[in-house]
Structure 1
C-alpha cells in the first residue's frame, strides 16, 4: 500500500511542480497583459472627462424642453414689443 501512495505522490509532484521549458519561463517574465488598453496618444482626455456621466434620456428631454421654452419666451417678448410699437404707430 505504501508503494501505491509513493507513486501517487510522485505523480502529483510532477503535475504540480515546475514542469516548464526555459522559453516558457522567459515568456512568462516578459509577458504583457493585452486585455488592458494602454494610454492612447490620439485621445488625451483627463480622467474627469473620461468618467463624465452621460445624461439620461429624461435629462436630454428636459434640456431640450428648457431650450425650446427659452426660445419661445424670447419670441413672446419680441411680439409684445412689436405690438407696443404698432400701438404707438396708431396713436401718432
Structure 2
C-alpha cells in the first residue's frame, strides 16, 4: 500500500488570512522610551580606552605643572641674580 502525501490546499481567502496573520505577529518598534539612532549606535569605550584617556588627561595636567615649576624656578634665579 502506497501513501500519497499532499500538501494542504488553500483558497485565496485562506492565503490572504494567513499572510495577514503572519504580518500581524511581527513586533512593531515601541516609540515610547526609544533612543535616537545616534544613541543606539553609540560605541561604549573599552576599559583600555578609558585608561588611555585618563593617562592622557593626567599627563596633560603634569605637563602644565612642570611648565609652572620651570617658570617659578626661572623667577627664583632672577631674584637671586638681583
How far the C-alpha of 1:32 sits from its partner, in A, is: 6.6
List runs of 5+ in structure 1 lacking aligned partners.
Answer: 6-12, 18-27
Q: Which of structure 1's runs of 4+ aligned residues deviate more than 6 A?
A: none
1:38 aligns with 30
Q: Distance in 1 between matches of 2:51 and 2:75?
A: 36
Residue 71 of structure 1 aligns to a residue whose secondary structure is helix
TM-score (norm. length: structure 1): 0.56
Equivalent in the alignment of 1:76: 66
In the alignment, structure 2 segments of 5+ residues that lack a partner are 11-20
Q: In the alignment, which residue of structure 2 is the partner of 1:63?
A: 53
Instruction: Report deviation, 1:51.
Output: 0.8
Q: Does 1:90 align with 2:68?
A: no
Count of residues in Structure 1 that have an aligned counterpart in Structure 2: 76
State the secondary structure of the residue aligned to 2:44.
Answer: coil
Please report the RMSD computed on the Cα atoms of aligned residues, expressed in angstroms.
Answer: 3.5
Structure showing greater radius of gyration is 1
Deviation at 1:50, TM superposition (A): 1.8
Report the TM-score, using the length of structure 2 for normalisation. Answer: 0.62
- Matched with 2:41 is 51
